[in-house]
Amino acid sequence: TQSTRPQRILGAVQRNATRGDPRSVVRAIDQYCRNQEWAMNVGDEKGCILDSVVSEVNPATVLELGTYCGYSTVRIASLLPPHAKLITLEFNPEFAVIARQVFAWAGLEDKIQLVEGASGDLIPKMKEQFGVETFDLVFLDHWKDRYLPDTKLMEECGLLRKGSVLLADNVICPGAPEYLEFVRSSPRYESQYFKSHLEYTKVEDGLEKSVFLG
C-alpha cells in the first residue's frame, strides 16, 4: 500500500538521523523536504528565526498549535532548559502517530506532551487538565484562520501573562490577514515582523512575533 508523506518523512529520520540527537533529526527532515518532497515544516530558514526567539525567551512553558510531523516541536524542545515543558496540539491522529515517533527518535519524549484534538476545544482545558498557569511562548502554526480566535481564547482563559510571546508562522503565505491586523493594531500587543521565505522555496513568507502587554 502507498505510504503517506508523513510516513516518508519519518523514514528519512530513521535512515539519516542519530537516535537521541535532535539537531540531526531536524537536519534529516530539512534535507528530505528540500531534496525529495516539499512538506509544511517551518523549515531551516524560518527555523533559525524560531531558534533565536526561543533562545531569547528561554521559556519554561511552551504551547505549539499544529504539530504536523513534529519538526518545529523538536526544534523548540532541543533548546529548552532542563525542566521546561512543551505542550503541542494536533487534531489529525495520523500526523500525531508520526510526530510521537519523531520525538522518540530525537529522545525528547520527556519534554514534549502531544495532545490530540482541536485547539478550540483543548485551550479552555489547559489549566485544569494539564496544570498550566500561563505560557511563556506560543508557536502558532495550525489553520491560519484559527490564529486570531485562538489568541482571543488564550487571553480569555488567562493563559497569557504580561510578557508572553506569540510567534506565528505563515503570516504571509498562506497568510493570516485578520490575525496580523489584530496584533499590529491592538494596544495590548507589541508586534515585530521577521521577513523570510516559505519553507524550502523562494516565495516570501515570515514570522510575526507579538509580545502580550497584559
Ligand X SMILES: C[C@H](C[C@H]1O[C@@H](n2cnc3c(N)ncnc32)[C@H](O)[C@@H]1O)NC(=O)c1cc(-c2ccc(F)cc2)cc(O)c1O
Return residues touching Mg ion (CB under 5 A).
141, 169-170
Residue 154, number of CB atoms within 10 A of its CB: 24
Q: Shortest distance, CB of residue 208 to ligand X, whole angstroms? A: 13
C-beta of residue 127 within 8 angstroms of C-beta of residue 157: yes
> Could you say which DSSP state residue 38 is in?
-
Binding-site partner at residue 119 among Mg ion, ligand X, none, CB < 5 to 8 Å by type: ligand X
Residue 90 lies near ligand X (rule: CB under 6 A)? yes
Whether 41 is a known active-site residue: answer: no
Choose among 99, 152, 153: nearest CA to 121.
153
Q: How far is the CB of 47 from ligand X (least distance, A)?
A: 11
Figure out which of the listed residues 60, 97, 104, 118 binds ligand X, where binding follows CB under 6 A: 118
Report how far residue 16's alpha carbon sits from residue 45's, in angstroms, rounded to the nearest whole number: 20
Which residues within the stretch 20-49 sit at the binding site for ligand X (CB under 6 A)?
A: 40
Q: Please indicate whether residue 150 is annotated as part of the active site.
A: no
Options 61, 73, 119, 134; binder of ligand X; rule CB under 6 A? 119
* Residue among 44, 64, 141, 208 flagged as catalytic: 141
Q: Is 44 a catalytic residue?
A: no
CB 141 within 8 A of CB 66: yes
Of 14, 92, 101, 191, the residue at the interface with ligand X (CB under 6 A) is: 92
Residue 104 Cα distances to 17, 19, 63, 74, 100, angstroms: 12, 8, 19, 10, 6
Q: Can you tell me which of 17, 63, 77, 89 binds ligand X, judged by CB under 6 A?
A: 89
CA distances from 55 to 58, 65, 77, 122, 212 (A): 5, 19, 11, 27, 18
Q: Is 200 in the site for ligand X (CB under 6 A)?
A: no
Residue 118 contact, options Mg ion, ligand X, none, Cβ 5-8 Å cut-off depending on partner type: ligand X
Q: Which of 170, 205, 208, 209 is catalytic?
A: 170
Rounded distance between C-alpha atoms, residue 156 and residue 152, angstroms: 6
What span, in angstroms and rounded, lies between the C-alpha atoms of 183 and 209?
9
Q: Which residue has the cell 525542566?
A: 83
Pick what 46 binds: Mg ion, ligand X, none; C-beta below 5 to 8 Å, kind-dependent. Answer: none
Active site residues: 141, 144, 169-170, 199
